[in-house]
Amino acid sequence: MYLTSIGRRPRLTLSTLVATLVATLATLLPASLRAGPAYDQSRPELEAVLADLIAWLPGGWDSYPQVHFERRHRVPVEGEHEHWYHVFERIDAPQIGEVVFYGQINEGGRDAPMMHRTQILYKVWIDEKRGAVVINGQGPANPEKYVDLHLHPELWGEVRMRDPDAINCDFLWRRDGEQIFGVLDGKTDDRRTGGPGTCSYMVNGTDVRFIADAEWVLTPEVFWDYDINLMAGHQFVGRKDRTHIRMYRARNYDCKVTDASGERSWSAYDRGAKFPVKTGDGRELQLMLLRAPLPDAAGKGMFDRLHFMVQKSGEDAPIHDLEFEPRSAAVAMSYSGIEARCTLNPARFVAAKKP
C-alpha cells in the first residue's frame, strides 16, 4: 500500500475490465455467499497481532530473491516482478499517534534511488469493534525533507501526515495461522462497494470511481505485497496477473575484499548486494551475496541458503558459487586472485559505502 502518481492516463485492457466487473459483481452477492473466511479475534489476540507487527515489520525487505529465481528458472508470462527494497522503521512521532511507522521503497535495491511517491507514514491502533489492528497510511507533508527518514531520528518529532482527514481507506490486520496479514476496507459503507478486501470512492467529487485492492502478508522473514489500484476501470498500479511481490528480510554484512585493484571495504547485505572485482588475469567480474530459496543443482525443490557468488557483470547465473547456512555469521571465498570475507553486522540499517 503506497501512494503513486495518478496523473498518467492508464491503458485500458481486457484484464482490467474483467477485474472491475468481478469486483462489481461481488457487491451484488449477499455476505453469506461471498468467498473467504470470517475472523473473530479477541482483544488479547489483537494485542498479540500488534506486538508481532511492531517486532516483525521494521527493517529492510528486498524482492531480489524473487527476481533472481525468475531470471534463472521461470519468468512469469507478464514478465519478472519489480525489484524493490522496502524499508520500514517504527518512529517516535506522538504528534501522529502512539504506534507509527515510516516506509519508503528504493527501486532496484538498498543503494538505489527512492521510488517517487513511496514515502508513507503509518498510524496503527486496535479497533475491537471491527476485530482488527488498523493501519492508516499517508505521505508526509513536505516529503522532500523526509527522504530516508528512518535514518534521521532528529526529524521524527516534527514530521506530519499530509492530510489525515482525507484518508478514505483502512488497512485491517489479523492473524491467520503463523502469519499476520492486512487487507483494505473502506472507512464507511459507501467506500466498501468493491467487495471484501477493497476500498472504493469517488475521486474529488467527480463521477470517477477509484478502487484499491491490497493484501500484505508478514512473517518474521518474508513480506508479500499485493497492491492493485484502478480508476474508472483503468489499472494504474499493480500487476495484471494479480500476483504478490515477494520480499525477504535483509541482513547487513561488513566485507573486506582483496583483488587486482587492492584491498577495499564493502557494505553488503544478503539479498543480492553486488561488488565489482578484478581477477589476477584482468577479468572484470562482480561478487554477489544472496540469501534466497532456490532449487538445488538438479533443479529440484526450493532450499534457503546463503550464496556467495562470482558473476559476469550484468548476468545472474554464477561462474563460481559457494553455499552457506542462511544466517551465517561469517562467510569467505577465494577465486582467481580474489579474496573476500564478510561478517554479519547486526545493525538494522547502515549507510551504504560505494565501491
304 in the same domain as 174: no
- The reply to whether 43 and 182 lie within a common domain is yes
Same-domain check for residues 79 and 190? yes
Rounded to an integer, what distance in angstroms lies between the CA atom of residue 222 and that of residue 24? 32
- Distance, CA of 88 to CA of 27 (rounded, Å): 34
C-alpha–C-alpha distance, residues 338 and 258, integer Å = 6
Residue 195: predicted pLDDT = 83
Q: How many residues does the chain have?
A: 355
| The domain boundary residue, chosen from 223, 248, 273 | 248
Are residues 313 and 185 part of one domain? no
User: Contact 135/183 with Cβ under 8 angstroms?
Assistant: no
Which ranges of the chain does DSSP label H, i.e. alpha helix? 14-28, 43-56, 64-72
How far from 6 is each of 33, 44, 82, CA to CA, in Å? Answer: 34, 40, 19
258, three cell numbers: 582483496
pLDDT, position 7: 31
Per-residue confidence (pLDDT) for residue 33, from 0 to 100: 41
Asked if residue 310 is part of any domain, the answer here is yes
Cα separation, 35 vs 28, in Å, equals 13
What residues of the chain score a pLDDT lower than 70?
A: 1-36, 352-355
Domain boundary among 225, 248, 271: 248
Question: Residue for cell digits 534457503?
Answer: 304
The burial of 163, by beta-carbon neighbours within 10 Å (0-12 exposed, 13-18 middle, 19 or more buried), is given as exposed
**Does one domain contain both 235 and 324?**
no
Residue 276 CA: distances (Å) to CA of 69, 90, 141, 260: 22, 34, 39, 11
Contact residues for 248 (Cβ-Cβ < 8 A; gap 6+) = 61, 62, 63, 65, 221, 222, 223, 271, 291, 292
The letter for the amino acid at 140 is: P
Distance (Å, rounded) from C-alpha 255 to C-alpha 343?
A: 6
Task: For residue 28, give the 3-state DSSP assignment.
Answer: helix
Alpha-carbon distance 352 to 290, whole Å? 17
Which three three-digit cell numbers place residue 134? 488498523
Q: Per the domain annotation, does 5 fall within a domain?
A: no
Q: What cell does 247 get?
A: 520480499
Is the residue at 290 inside a domain?
Answer: yes
In a domain, 40, yes or no: yes
Both 236 and 286 in one domain: the answer is no
Q: Is residue 355 part of a domain?
A: no
Q: Which H/E stretch holds residue 334?
A: strand 330-335
Name the domain boundary from 194, 220, 248: 248
Question: What is the CATH number for 148?
Answer: 2.40.128.590
Q: Which domain holds residue 339?
A: 251-345
Q: Are residues 231 and 337 in the same domain?
A: no
Question: What is the rounded distance in angstroms from the CA atom of residue 135 to the CA atom of residue 98?
Answer: 12
- Confirm if 194 and 27 have CB atoms less than 8 A apart: yes
- Tell me, yes or no, whether 180 and 157 share the same domain: yes
Is 6 contained in some domain?
Answer: no
pTM for this entry: 0.87
pLDDT, residue 193, reads 86
Q: Taking phi first (over 0 means left), then psi (-120 to 50 degrees means alpha), and beta for anything else, what does residue 232 get?
A: left
Residue 292 CA: distances (Å) to CA of 42, 191, 297, 300: 36, 39, 14, 14
Considering the domain architecture, whether residues 183 and 97 belong to the same structural domain is answered as yes
Q: What's the total number of domains in the chain?
A: 2
Q: Are 162 and 31 within one domain?
A: yes
The dihedrals phi and psi of 111, each to the nearest 5 degrees, come to: -95, 5
- 221 and 258 inside one domain: no
Q: Is residue 352 part of a domain?
A: no
Whether 225 and 287 share a structural domain: no
pLDDT at 23: 43
Instruction: Render pLDDT for 164-208 as a digit per residue (tens, 0 to 9).
Output: 999 999 999 999 999 999 999 999 999 998 888 899 999 988 999
